[in-house]
Structure 1
């Protein structure tokens, strides 16, 4: 609709009329001074034109146009670009395909609407990113790669994307599953904000809701990362089977040995029956260790019909199987410092399996303590008896222990106040087993004064002298006797009656006064040792931890009739041997020598850290830290980001002629993305978000209802129409203003020029 108006100067029509009358009077009364009619008419016409222009400027006529149309606004569309969109939606395609279809139809539909609405397209996963292209084909070149989905981040970004313009509405597409931790306000808070502003939220849920058929999954969990085993030993494999949506279904399960050449051998097979819609079953399966070597132990379940995620159907443990090994039973009566350090030292070696049993003296009223079947042949390979009275074990069980030692087990007794003679072993079956003489008259009752036992001790400090070279006492170096003499002195030791005179009995360590401190011998097919001291832990405390570990390991290996490889080697440690590809896993490698010279300086040499994949491709780790200490050199670093798969970490000397051998440690990189272990969509959540803005036209639409969504957007735009008034007043814009000025000035200038030419000036 159009109309005319006038806007006189000073908003006063009276002033404009009066000035117009004055101008007209001047035009009538002041005529050109000439008798020539033509000249007169020309001059009056020019003056009249100038007067007319002046009157137009006084009254300022204008044209008003009134129309109704939607105000300028922005429609923001956010699409899900996380990896979960690659999951199936139905038999016609996956979620990403259906989202592409939804966007194409939406972009084509809103393109036909009014030009006052701009469209901004966002892609979101863990964060939201604006997409420069908002054409119908904008998603055709995009691949969903996001590892997490944050709907709150997407909703927040839609508000920021408007860039200060009013929002015509927000369209949120996706499967509705929140997998990223929510750091701030959730998507519900953003929807409430849109409601407060009167902005509709339209959602397009894609993907089936969770149900008995859409939520089927079986997975293996809680399997230990690694095992250290002895060949042909039986051991337990503990793990969990997670079952969801498989009630009443029988699921086959098997354990596989996989050697370094990739050969598979079935270790065990079972069947698991799901009793509930969702449950976790704990499993324990007895397995026999294979021949010595390095293996992977896979626990796997067969993929089930309708199961979308199969990456969790298998879990791997790394297994190092050694030839032989030793199982140690450590019986202790007094909780001394020696037992603390000795247990820590022996448990560090993977081929030594230690079982510790404490029998405190305040339980003497219940002695002897039942030891179950621990003294039977084959149950343990080595028996360590600490400061423990013979009555705590009992004669019958000691007879069984003596028989087991005679059949090949090892026995070692440590120093203490309540063992040997004082502990009643002189009248026990172990009197014939131990390699030293025992005196029954030195028996001390467990409840008697400790002073009597002290009188059977050698007072310290005691320097240890090497009496005979032996695998137990070989601490390395060119002069073992010097090394023993340099160790911290003992604060005390048991005073033995003396060693037995029998084949195989040897005194290995003694005091400067020739009192025996370490005596070894044989009994039947077994080996025995009598140690007079219980304070070697002081070596560890004073910086000789490697000497401590070596000594006690050599004691154990000699009792097992094995010899230790005393060569230097590299030890590799990983934070975890099975970790997700996004984790920052660190490794450490250190030089260890089982025969260190206490005074020797380390001889550092450069090492190389490498990662080897399943195809034998080698990647050198360059970002490492190296250090040299008194005990040797070490290296640390981080495993680089790797694709899921099996790898080996290899540490080797840079010098190929080095005496050190390369060491490798296998590990696995797994895809543990939360996005890919939650395949079920949550369309209900998106519907709830849309319903928050329902009073402003918000709602949820399937990807097949985009035409209805386009119509809803069009209806919403019509409701947003408002009257738009456009007023054009003469002289307000530069064009009309300059036009009036040029005509007015031109008329007066022409009139003055003609008067001068005609001689009227």
Structure 2
């Protein structure tokens, strides 16, 4: 509505009329001093014009315009940019695309409809940040690792920057994966309710219903295996399922070689019996030819699954030539047998079977070991302090034939072994590389005699360099002298005199302690002692492991090369992307300069190399030799994928590089729960229902726009605008120019005409 009014100076109409009267009287009474009519008219006209302008300035005519308008206010819109928005929305698309469409519909419906409404756009995940409202969100990547609804609602209030808040619109799937403190998002929305501010939500994604939460996951597969070609191994893992009752889930094991060729090793059907089920699965497979492989265990994707990244797991497999099956027979449950088993168990390429034959079962000797001594059943036979009668003549004859056919045999010292244990008169006497005397046979019940034993302490000295006795270090002999003395040893008549028989270890008095030899196609080793556990207990556990492993490999005719090579130890070979596992690389070369790098592939499949920051390890720290060179460090944060850790020497001509593959898996909490939580968002909106708060589907943005505009109209207040003459430069300057021009012209004419 528009009207005219006058607002005289000082707000007094009487004063304005009086001033007008005085002005008119002065003009009428003070006439120009000239008798010429035309001059008189010009001067009077100019004075009247100036007086008219002055009168207008005194009266101040005003145009008054009254209108109803909403007050200036801010509308806050928060959109979810966490990784869960990449999941399906339940309608055939992904949640992010649905949210982008909802924002565009909301923005197009509001922009230009209410100029007093300031729309502010926020993006939230684990943090909240402002965005330009001109953004279409098409170029934004939802990569947030967490969703914090509490922080998002708090930041939405602060985004108004002191302006009145017309309302807050929160879009997203409603899944709170961040930490909750102080009542969570509900407490913040209750504050909005107390301020009379509506809270609108736009839930996106399928709800948590039984039919829409179907999932199959492969879990608990070992990270790595070390196998021998042609051996059978049991692959164990779990298949976890949800909402799959009565379904048979196909599972397959696939070998993937270094060229990426895939070969299916086995398939199974896993019957799901419960709504939430975990099935322990054991599938035997045969190792492929020697090489490096990945073993993929995968479950077929089922209808209705929203997350399929957990349908498979990968294990890294190193397949070596041949096998290493060990049979360990002993009669005493002492520390020696316990720590030998513990040392060799560290090496998965050595498969050990053990049998305790106690001495209190003499009445049932010989024990029946069925087919354990038949050729091909085991690769190595390890006999501890065990009397020959426990095995019997027939089985010892069978064992001798098996060793002659290519198996390995190692015998330990003790009170019931070698000639005192009855082996001198057995078929195994021809196999052992030591000379024995049948006359020294002693029954189990007889009193122990020191003439058959070397008294403690037994100091072990190196008699001959050999792959078995290479414990590292610049001076192998000194390495052996540094080991703790043993508690005794069997006294022998000496080694046999035959080709291939060698004394490797002896006492300072040159009494043999370790003799190796050959029998037929098999290798044999006779050890006089049985207290190497003292090495382990004194801190030389690595030397203990190295000695027993190298002995086993020599018996298998696969002794480790004496060539120096880099050994890599990685804490884990399958870990989450946010983890940073430690690694260590060691080479038995003093002063070698080592460097580490990550080898991966980019999106185009090209190899990428990323150098790693490493630190030099203190010599001897956790190592077997002070002559080792070592580095250590931590892997950086990496995206999900398959990588290789490569360690190389500064001089590649002296040391070959070593590599170990590992997998970075995506264990994001955002992707772990595929279901949205629209119920929670509706509950939040209902907290402000008294002020218009409500939840709207992504396809109902037009309804939300109408609600927002209707509330803006309901919040209109009268706004009065006055356009007063002379208050602004648009009217003030013209009045001044007319007044000044009239008086200046009147003065100039009087001067021209020579008037006073």
TM-score of the aligned structures, taking structure 1 as reference length? 0.78
Q: CA deviation at 1:498?
A: 3.3
Q: For the structure 1 residues 554 and 753, does the alpha-carbon distance in structure 2 shift closer, same or farther, using more than 3 Å as the test? A: closer
C-alpha distance in structure 1 between counterparts of 2:368 and 2:734, whole Å: 117
CA distance in 2, matches of 1:9, 1:454: 136
Q: Is the 8 A contact 2:224 2:317 kept in 1?
A: yes
Partner of 2:75: 75
Q: CA RMSD in A?
A: 4.9
Q: How many Å separate the matches in 1 of 2:60 and 2:143?
A: 64
Matches within 5 A, 1:334-413: 345-353=343-351, 377=373, 378=377, 381-383=380-382, 385=384, 396=390, 406=400, 408=403, 410-413=409-412
1:597-616 → structure 2 map (5 Å cutoff): 602=590, 604=592, 609=597, 611=599
| Corresponding position of 2:659 | 664
Q: Once the 2 structures are TM-superposed, how far is the Cα of residue 215 of structure 1 from its aligned partner?
A: 1.8
Answer yes or no: is 1:725 the counterpart of 2:713. no
- State the partner residue of 1:696: 691
Q: Which residue of 2 aligns with 1:245?
A: 243
TM-superposed deviation, 1:224: 0.9
> Matched residue of 2:62: which SS?
strand
Q: Which residue of the partner structure matches residue 65 of structure 2?
A: 65
The question of whether the paired residues in 1 share the 8 Å contact of 2:462 and 2:480 is answered with no
Moved more, 232-241 or 556-565: 556-565
How big is the shift at 1:149?
4.4
Structure 1 residues 473 and 54 mapped into 2: Cα distance closer, same or farther (>3 Å)? closer
The reply on whether 1:534 has 2:535 as its aligned counterpart is no
Q: What is the Cα deviation at residue 634 of structure 1?
A: 3.4
**1:72 Cα deviation from its structure 2 partner:** 2.2
Name the SS of the counterpart of 1:105 in structure 2.
Answer: helix
Give the Cα separation in 2 of the matches to 1:612 and 1:63. 76
Stretch of structure 1 that moved more, 711-720 or 180-189: 180-189
Alignment partner, residue 300 of structure 1? 298
User: 2:516·2:523 contact (CA, 8 Å) conserved in 1?
Assistant: no
- Shifted more, 430-439 versus 742-751: the winner is 430-439
71-80 or 12-21, which moves further after superposition?
A: 12-21
Answer whether contact 2:83 2:145 (CA < 8 A) is retained: yes
Change in Cα spacing, 1:564 to 1:760, as seen in structure 2 (3 Å) is: closer
Within 1, Cα distance between the matches of 2:63 and 2:57? 15
Report the CA distance shift for 1:506/1:623 in structure 2 as closer, same or farther (over 3 A). Answer: closer
| Gapped regions of structure 1 (runs ≥ 5) | 447-451, 593-600
Partner deviation per Cα, 1:84-136 (whole Å, 9 max, x = no partner) = 4454445664444444443443333224522222434445455455444537x
Moved more, 374-383 or 163-172: 374-383
Matched, 1:117 2:117: yes
Pair 1:574-2:563 in alignment? no
Cα offset for 1:718? Answer: 0.6
Q: Does 1:494 align with 2:482?
A: no
1:304-351 Cα deviation digits (max 9, x unpaired): 123233222221112223321143659796876x88976665444343
Is there any run of 5+ residues in structure 2 with no aligned partner, and where? 620-625
1:618 is matched with which residue? 607
Q: Secondary structure at the match of 1:224?
A: coil
> How many angstroms does 1:642 deviate by?
6.5
Corresponding residue number in structure 2 for 1:449: none
Q: Secondary structure at the match of 1:703?
A: coil
Instruction: Give the CA deviation at 1:299.
Output: 1.6
Establish whether residue 325 from structure 1 lines up as the match of residue 332 from structure 2.
no
Q: Kindly state the Cα deviation for residue 221 of structure 1 after the two structures are TM-superposed.
A: 1.0
| Structure 2 Cα separation of the partners of residues 399 and 31 of structure 1 | 160
The answer to whether structure 1 residue 564 and structure 2 residue 563 are counterparts is no
Q: What is the alpha-carbon distance in structure 2 between the residues aligned to residue 265 and residue 288 of structure 1? A: 12
**In structure 1, what is the Cα distance between the partners aligned to 2:180 and 2:392?**
64
Between the aligned partners of 1:216 and 1:114, the Cα distance in structure 2 is 46
Residues 83 and 610 (structure 1 numbering): CA distance in 2 closer, same or farther, change over 3 Å?
Answer: closer
Q: What is the deviation of 1:220?
A: 0.6
Q: Is the 1:586–1:637 Cα contact (8 Å) retained in structure 2?
A: yes
Where do residues 216-227 of structure 1 align in structure 2 (5 Å cutoff)?
216-227=214-225
Structure 1 position 309 matched with structure 2 position 297? no
1:707 aligns with 2:705: no
Question: In terms of mean alpha carbon deviation, does 312-321 or 151-160 score higher?
Answer: 151-160
- Closer, same or farther in 2 for the Cα pair 1:401/1:665, shift >3 Å? farther
* Alignment partner, residue 627 of structure 2: 631
Q: What secondary structure sits across from 2:109 in the alignment? A: helix
Write the distance in 1 (CA, Å) between the matches of 2:204 and 2:19.
74
Contact 1:499/1:507, CA 8 A, preserved across alignment: no
Equivalent position of 1:106 in the other structure: 106
Distance (whole Å) between structure 2 residues aligned to residue 104 and residue 495 of structure 1: 87
Between the aligned partners of 2:19 and 2:334, the Cα distance in structure 1 is 120
Equivalenced residues, count: 728
- Secondary structure, counterpart of 2:212 in structure 1: coil
Larger mean CA deviation between 394-403 and 276-285 belongs to 394-403
Q: Helix, strand or coil for the counterpart of 1:715?
A: helix
How much has 1:548 moved relative to structure 2? 5.0
Aligned-partner SS, 2:722:
strand
- Residue by residue over 1:237-261, the C-alpha shift from the partner in whole angstroms, topping out at 9 and shown as x without a partner, is 2211111221111212222333445
Bigger shift: 101-110 or 516-525? 516-525
TM-superposed deviation, 1:723: 1.1
Determine if contact 1:584/1:639 at 8 Å carries over to the other structure: yes
Relative distance call for 1:692 and 1:152 in structure 2 (3 A) is: same
Check conservation: 2:535, 2:543, Cα contact below 8 A. no
Distance 2:352 2:687 in 1: 63
CA distance in 1, matches of 2:133, 2:412: 81
The 5 Å alignment of 1:506-517 reads: 507-517=503-513
